[in-house]
Structure 1
Amino acid sequence: MKNELKCWEFFGCSEEECPVYKLKKPRCWLVPGTRCRKESQGNVPEKIGMCLECEVLRANIDDDSVQETLRVVNEEFMQLKSMVDKRDRESEKVNMELALGLSEVFEALKKISSGDPAVRIPDTSGPELITELKHIVNLTAEELGEIVNLSHEFAIGLAEHFDVLHRVSEGDLTARVCGISQVELLEMLKKLTNQMIESAQREIAERKQAEKALKEARNGLEIRIKERTAELIRTNALLKQEIVERQLAEEALIRAKEDWENTFDAITDMVMLLDKEHQIIRVNRAVAEALNTAKETLAGKKCYEVIHRKSHPIKECPLMLTMKTLEHITAEITEPNIGGTFICSTSPLLDREGKLTGYTHTLKDITKSKHLEAQLRHTQKMEAVGTLAGGIAHDFNNLLMGIQGHISLMLMHIDSSHPHFKHFKGMEDMIERGADLTRQLLGFARGGKYEVKPTNLNELIDKSCEMFGRTKKEIMIHKKYQKGIWSVEVDQGQMEQVLLNLYVNAWQAMPQGGNLYIETINLVLAEDYARPFGLEAGNYVKISVADTGVGMDKATQQRIFEPFFTTKEVGIGTGLGLASVYGIIKNHDGIINVYSEKGKGTIFNIYLPASEKDVTLKEKRLADDNEPLRGTGTILLVDDEDMIVEVGQEMLTSMGYKVLPARSGKEAIEIYRRYNDKIDMVILDMIMPDINGGDVYDTLKEINPEIKVLLSSGYSL
């Protein structure tokens, strides 16, 4: 039952004599004899009209109270009806007794008027008037017996009286005894008779008037009861409608509350509602999950106690500024207690009148986005450095090619007995080391893949470990291979370079020797794991290379793949080894990451897309031959570098070929159009300023689909 409004509280009443106030009954309209607002009230039917207009009844009315009201009114009506019926029966009984008594009186009077003074009426109980009439008639009969022998005048007067009595007995109540009798007894009888008649008239008139009033009252009461009942029915219908509307409103309010609570809990950000003293009023599910506790346990606690585990607000908290300015404030904070970086937002809570009631405190976890931003910045930086490294490698390769070309030309004209032969060979060795450096730069710069083939990484790792183990015997190598490993499409030479660079990096981290752990495993990367690394979900092969070396700090890990970054002493490392590893793996649509702790070693993890193609064996390279190759035919040599064209033309000419030089793509196309029937092959540089090598190649293929072209570039192809 809902809380009911009490009339004595609503009106401030203290009427001690009021039964409602005395008994503390809330449904005052159902209690008879109340004293409402200084006025006494009757029973329920009499006062229900006024009660229907009362605020207390309208506030308390519901289905239960309406039914009880109808029940009480019906009971009152039935009691009143019972009283009316009882009074009707009593009236009928009295009327019957009155009629019987009058009949006896009239019968006795009739006998007396007929000269029978011996008649007597039994003096039984009955209406008072009839009893009195019977007594008078009996007295009259007695007196008549004594005066029967009086004079003729007395007889005449007596006859007159008997005549009047006879008329009264016949129902003529208008009859009167008139005239003047000289006999005192007759005068007395005359007077008594007239009084009796008048009393009977009055009694009958009063009875009729009472019956009429009672009938009118009964009819009026029935009409009022019908009207009140109809009004109650109408009021009941209205109240039922109002109750239904209230129930619908309450249900809508409950649904709205549930929707708000569900929405509040569904917010992935951590949301707290605070009072003016930093105390928590309410939190959503995200806060409870972050703190690993129930929501209910946080209410009443200070926000800085549960979030920061401090006894006072932190300096970075924007809530302090919101309290001063009543404005929305946002700040970025790092909170180790709940782990991560957050956007902290605070706003004032105002009521309808604009008064401050509290604050909202929101924490949005941006740890992943910060990590992705860092990855993006790192990727962009590596792309930029890669572009720079590629350009440097391209120009450096051209320089090396020019130097190598001139040295080769000189070596073609001397033998080992020449005093400068040893110096020229030393220069060739330096050029080869320079070429290795450019290869590392091009590997980082994603300068292209050489020969991509389906490869078994277990076999490739075995070969690289055998090569590395022969020279670094102080390192214990532990291998754990995936059975049935999936194939990957890689350039085997580049992957050997990747593995050897990682082995060397591990060896340098373990100067006193140590353990090197290498493991392969088949993996299926889900989208939520692959997406942050820019990978497609699917099958991958993972290579883990772990050492027990000195490890590195986080700052070093963030820069470990940058070109020319090294922690080694000057002259020991170039800072290109891991940079080329990074570039080669990226060039194969894979990723590499590193995990390390100071004093606990380092782990490099490589993820390469798996292939459904069968593994092909690596082809053996032709043995080196010191004798220069010779041939015949016409070659179109295309390069925008004059030194390359000059050295290349001289070398090819010395080998027996006729050379047509072209220093741009446009010139190459013109020459080929003119001499395509005489040109046997084209050596084409891919990087040129006017028309790039790819477009030149397409144009030449249009001219002659059977053309033979050797592509050349300072970049890897």
Structure 2
Amino acid sequence: MERKSKEQGKADSNLQEREKIGAWSYDVLNDKTYWSDDMYTILGIPPEKGVPSLEEQKKIFFQDDYETLEKDFRLALIQGTPYLHELHIIYPDESVHIILNQGQGVKNAEGKVIWVFGTTKDITEQRKAEMALKESQVMLDYIEERSGVGSFVWDLRNDSLVYSRNMLTMVGLHSAPESLRDIIASLIHPDDKPRVKQEIHQMISYKKTYPMSFRISCPDGTEKILESHAKFLLDEQGNPIKCIGIHQDITEREKKQSTIQEQFFFQQTLMNAIPMPVFYKNLNREYLGCNKAFEDFIGLSKESIIGKTVIDIVPKDFAYIYQTHDDYVFRNQKFDLLETQAISTDGTLRDVLFYKAPFFNRKGDMEGIIGVIMDITEHKQLKERLNQTEKMQALGQFAGGIAHDFNNQLLCIMGHAEMISLGSRDENIRNHVKSILKSAEDSAEFTRKLLAFARKEKLSMSCIDIHSIIDDVTTILKHSIDKRISIQKNFQAINPRIMGNTSQVQNALMNLTLNGKDAMPEGGELVFSTENMQIFPNSYPGLEAGCYIKISIKDTGVGMDSETLKHVFEPFYTTKDKGKGTGMGLTSAYSMAVNHHGHIQVQSQIGKGTTFFIYLPTTESAIQHKKITQQFKQIQKTTTFNIMVVDDEEAICGLAMEMLTTLGYQVVSFKNPLEAVEYYETHYNQIDLVILDMIMPVLGGKDTFIRMKKIHPKIKAILSSGFSLTPEVQEILDLGMISFLEKPYRILNLGQKVEEALKK
């Protein structure tokens, strides 16, 4: 028995050494218990005290644990039944430890239990680690749940996946798919699968991850948008072997972003619908945004305006005025107006009115200002024109009264002078009378001018040719003006005929010409120009709708200041030296324009010359209007087509759109040919005809047509250009274009070309 005990002790020692556990045994026959050294350490009992008695052991364990141990130990003692328990023990220092205790009875040949062997292991630290891990997992699950993320681990070597609990909940699964292939097949939205595969392949190839978003189709039928952030774990060779990361549900965020974008798009569309320039700035006076009208007004794109201040985009003299007004609005935090001037994109000065007001956030804090610009140039000009008209009418009434009374006096003078001449044979007296009559006739001519200005003289009207009258005037001038003055003519008017009084028109043009001649004492250039123009209803104050000829007389003389321009058409007003002018020359020109149902304007600056513009209705205005109306009706019978206009000149695009819309067509226009090609690629089946400009930046008419023809070989297109039918134009037409439309074109020319093209 002693040898057996030694062998058993050796076996227990080996087991203890191998598994780092304490061993114990109980000799049933001798009622003796044996402990290994580690048992004392594990149970916190000094070895010198020996194996404690049952009563002492009872104090070591928690009461419930001891009762369970005692019960199962008896079963092992009687029947040899094995047991395994996790027990709590109390150390002498009152610290609690957890042990794993197991035992089993060994029977002899007669079936009686003679030994009970067991092991004990201190698992306190293991359980603490497990508890910490569990707490960490609970914390991780809580963080993932609250932040809307789920984590994953993907083993690239065997394509296996491990999902966190929240990851499974997020995608609506009860268990994780076995591989990434399963994820792509079952969850990724069909439209996103090719892109996701490609991006994963690229990340593995470059050994670098980057954020990726995609849609998933959950088992319950809902659709979500996930955003993925990941990191590769590399082997010793630097190759990815694992990928750890998180998925975040960004569905609501994307919906909100989409809503914000839609709201912003609506607001921008609403702003662009406002015809007046609109802008808004932050507290740093930097532009936050603007509408299309402001881009056009300032001559810059919105992208190049945002983030800049007014000092950056406007000439300094004007910018400081605008910024001072900004400062006033910021300082007082209230709406204010500023009437000032601005330089338009064509370099001309415009009278403008700035409306500026602060805007605030929900807390009531000021965040910036919003401004609206109203161009009041035409309004001021109209007001000045009305004032001028009223003043001229008053002067006309006054001048008419003077002329009437003066004519009565002239009648007496001339009558008596003639009576003296008839009753006298004295040659000397007759010569004096002749001089008196000559002066009286000159005075009568003067009164006729006054009556014409006052509209009290009836005129004899006939069909006259403006070009012929200008030719007559210039012929006379060539023999009487300084040879250093060059006379040029630029006749663009197709119809130069008006119903007018030859004498009055000729005198008016002569007076304007002489005025220009006097303004060029050192020589210069005098230019006569004509063109036809269509005046639409309410488009030009003071003129009725119809066809007009516009006569321009331009000199390169000394020019006039703003004060002179205010009085230039008034009777008796002159800037010439005393005795060198009556002040009726420009007044008679004004009278001629009014008497012929037209209008006269003047533009001038000191040192930059003067230009007079005369607008007179042509003889065919009424007839032509009726003819155009009839032709419009004929063309509009078949106008159910969609037309695309491509021209880099915005003014031409707008004019073509207006003409075609008037003819009843649906029109879409593009200034950028690349955008036009992109639009045509998706809408070619809705476009019946394309009108292409020949010369455009980025992409010319030829290349634009070639690209469109590749999209739709049966494209119908018209080439438009300011060039005539040159070999270069013909070369483009030979590519398959239907016809050629030369600029400038009239609305009827355009309508006929379009109708012919659509019929082919």
TM-score under structure 2 length normalisation: 0.46
As a proportion of its length, which structure holds more helix?
1
Is the radius of gyration larger for structure 1 or structure 2? 1
TM-score under structure 1 length normalisation: 0.49
As a proportion of its length, which structure holds more strand?
2
